[in-house]
Amino acid sequence: MKVNTFIVGAPKSGTTSLHFYLQQHPDVCMSEIKEPNYFTAKEVVKLYYDVSPVNSEDWYHSIFTEPTSRVVGEGSVSYLFYPEVAQKIYNYNPEARILIILRNPVQRAFSHYLMDCRLGLCDISLEDILDNPLKYPHFYQQFIELGMYHQQIKRYIDVFGQTQVKVMFYDDLKTDANLFIDQVFSFLALTSQDINTVVKNKFKQPSITIVAKLYQFKWLRSCLNIFVPKRLLIMIKSVLFKDGKKPTLDPSIKRKLSEIYKKDVAELSKLLSKDLSAWE
């Protein structure tokens, strides 16, 4: 078997929702492990997320329960950033289709930062990270550099060609999820299907302070995922976490981020022949 469809990024741009939407289609088999990170196994273990990537081909192929499906896919958002991955995927399957969702890089950076703070992985101010990239290289990479899309997208287009790469936008997903997924189905030569387009990875906040403190311990989260039945875990999370309003980004930090991304957004706009002035 060969995996033939890859959601490669960008992080915090709706990739979890897209994975969920695709796996509802009867002709699609998405990986049981949402982010196997098979093609970035050596890179992601060096990050601070304590990731255990799928690091052998046998293991990788075993996480697809219906390998004869028309579309066999996975979504590892680490695949977009690292320079060698596009060629690695091409060497594995030159016929692969590549799905990419892009989000306003300023919004994406702040969303990623908030997530890592909520997980207890970062307790440094975003302003300090912006002002000291050499002191906090991994944070700067994850929050800032991942939003430098131009070269990341160009690599995939250069390797796979325009026809095998579909670049989409988070704002379109938010505006009309049904139209968005129909366009994905068309790109993958799948029939249109009515699916549940509920938003995944919606921003939530702990209902009480002690929950926020406990949730920062990765070992506790891992134990809950291993030993607590899935339905019970969903029920527990619905009680302990509530939909919350995202904190707002300080205007001065927003200006700094906008300036950082200004040139890259202009280059991306030319590459994709798309007006991205709204991102400015």
Q: From start to end of the chain, where are the E strands?
A: 5-9, 28-30, 71-75, 97-102, 165-169, 204-206, 241-243
Gap between the Cα atoms of 198 and 221, Å rounded: 24
For 201, the 3-state DSSP assignment is: coil
Q: What pLDDT digit, counting tens, does each position of 12-37 carry?
A: 999 999 999 999 999 999 999 999 99
What phi and psi, each to the nearest 5 degrees, are found at residue 257?
-65, -45
Confidence of residue 245 (pLDDT cuts 50, 70, 90): low
Sheet containing 5-9, strands listed edge to edge, beginning at the edge strand earlier in sequence: 28-30, 71-75, 5-9, 97-102, 165-169
Q: Are 8 and 98 in contact (CB under 8 A)?
A: yes
Residue 47 pLDDT > 90, yes or no? yes
DSSP per-residue string spanning 8-77 = EE-TTSSHHHHHHHHTTSTTEEE-SSS---GGGHHHHTTSTT------SHHHHHHT-S-TTSSEEEEE-G
Confidence of residue 230 (pLDDT cuts 50, 70, 90): low
Q: Set out the domains of the chain in order of their start, with CATH numbers.
A: 5-201+252-279 (3.40.50.300), 204-244 (no CATH)
Gap between the Cα atoms of 99 and 232, Å rounded: 33
Task: Output 238 or 117, whichever has higher pLDDT.
Answer: 117
Average pLDDT over residues 105-109: 98
* Cα 270 to the center of its chain, rounded Å: 24
Residue 249 vs residues 111, 246, 257: alpha-carbon distances, Å: 10, 9, 10
Gap between the Cα atoms of 113 and 102, Å rounded: 17
Q: Which residue is associated with the tokens 């890859």?
A: 6
Prediction pTM value: 0.86
Task: Supply the mean pLDDT for the chain.
Answer: 90
Residue 251 vs residues 93, 127, 255, 257: alpha-carbon distances, Å: 45, 11, 6, 10
For 260, the 3-state DSSP assignment is: helix
Gap between the Cα atoms of 223 and 138, Å rounded: 26
Q: What pLDDT digit, counting tens, does each position of 54-88 carry?
A: 999 999 999 999 999 999 999 999 999 999 999 99
